[in-house]
């Protein structure tokens, strides 16, 4: 928690819809602190993943990020993976218009501290945020996170979840088409170190090549896109 203000939590709301950001910000600022949780201090807003990265770099004492999965710079669930890899000490709660059970399980697999559906009542959103700020987790009660999922995508997600934060960063850069020397420059490490990371990534994912590893990440992203497409059909 922020050492300068131990009883006040600093948040970032990351969503590309300004009206939603403002409504959620006001709802959280006007909420009374719950037992065991700090009050809300500063609430910053970000409209893209790049803005989130910039704000976290400038304010590493941030206590919580509320992250939408469908905004500029976020390809899907891999955006959550990348953010967790870059800032592993900052809790992240995904705020989404979709409450597809498979997506919720993958969000948990990739290290999120919670999942909030945008269809929830304001009081429930406040409860979720307070629970995470108090050190807990908050996921929909009607979704069993421990339910067995024998699908191929579930297997891929479990393998991806075994990657270290640095390996995730390397994998994301592979997905951007960067060469080993470019990745080494970005991470300020040697090319030999990057090669070692790539080898470990391929081994953990059971992939035969860099291309296959990137395809596996893209398939996880497709899961989230398909879930939103299904929600659009339902509505």
Q: Which residue has the higher pLDDT, 34 or 181?
A: 181
pLDDT of residue 52: 92
The CATH code for residues 8-133 is 3.40.50.2300
Segment 76-80 mean pLDDT: 78
Q: Which of 44, 90, 48 is nearest to 69 (CA)?
A: 48
Q: Which fold has domain 152-234?
A: Arc Repressor Mutant, subunit A (1.10.10)
Alpha carbon of residue 111 to chain centroid: 7
Confidence band of 49 (pLDDT split at 50, 70, 90): confident
Span of 137-151, 153-167, 217-231 with lowest mean pLDDT: 217-231
CB 47 within 8 A of CB 71: yes
- What is the spatial distance between Cα 233 and Cα 218, in angstroms, rounded to a whole number? 22
Same fold, 8-133 and 152-234: no
Whether the per-residue pLDDT at 227 is higher than 70: the answer is: no
Token representation of residue 184: 């080494």
pLDDT of residue 107: 87
Please give the model's pTM, rounded to 2 decimal places.
0.79
Sketch the domain layout of the chain as residue ranges.
Answer: 8-133, 152-234
Whether the per-residue pLDDT at 225 is higher than 70: the answer is: no
Token representation of residue 17: 């819809």
pLDDT of residue 223: 64
Segment 18-33 mean pLDDT: 86
Other beta carbons less than 10 A from residue 43's beta carbon: 19
Whether the per-residue pLDDT at 221 is higher than 90: the answer is: no
């Amino acid at each position: 928690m922020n050492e300068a203000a131990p009883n006040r939590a600093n948040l970032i709301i990351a969503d590309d819809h300004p009206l939603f950001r403002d409504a959620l910000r006001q709802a959280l600022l006007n909420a009374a602190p719950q037992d065991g949780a700090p009050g809300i201090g500063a609430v910053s807003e970000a409209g893209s993943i790049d803005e989130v990265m910039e704000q976290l770099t400038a304010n590493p004492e941030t206590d919580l990020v509320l992250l939408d999965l469908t905004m500029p710079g976020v390809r899907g669930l891999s955006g959550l993976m990348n953010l967790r890899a870059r800032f592993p000490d900052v809790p992240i709660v995904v705020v989404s218009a979709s409450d597809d059970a498979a997506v919720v399980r993958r969000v948990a697999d990739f290290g999120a501290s919670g999942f909030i559906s945008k269809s929830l009542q304001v009081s429930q959103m406040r409860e979720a945020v307070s629970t995470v700020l108090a050190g807990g987790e908050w996921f929909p009660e009607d979704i069993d996170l421990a339910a067995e999922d024998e699908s191929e995508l579930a297997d891929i997600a479990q393998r991806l979840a075994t990657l270290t934060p640095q390996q995730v960063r390397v994998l994301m850069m592979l997905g951007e088409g960067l060469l080993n020397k470019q990745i080494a420059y970005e991470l300020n490490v040697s090319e030999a170190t990057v090669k070692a990371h790539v080898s470990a990534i391929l081994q953990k994912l059971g992939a035969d090549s860099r291309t296959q590893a990137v395809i596996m990440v893209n398939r996880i992203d497709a899961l989230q896109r398909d879930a939103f497409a299904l929600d659009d059909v339902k509505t």
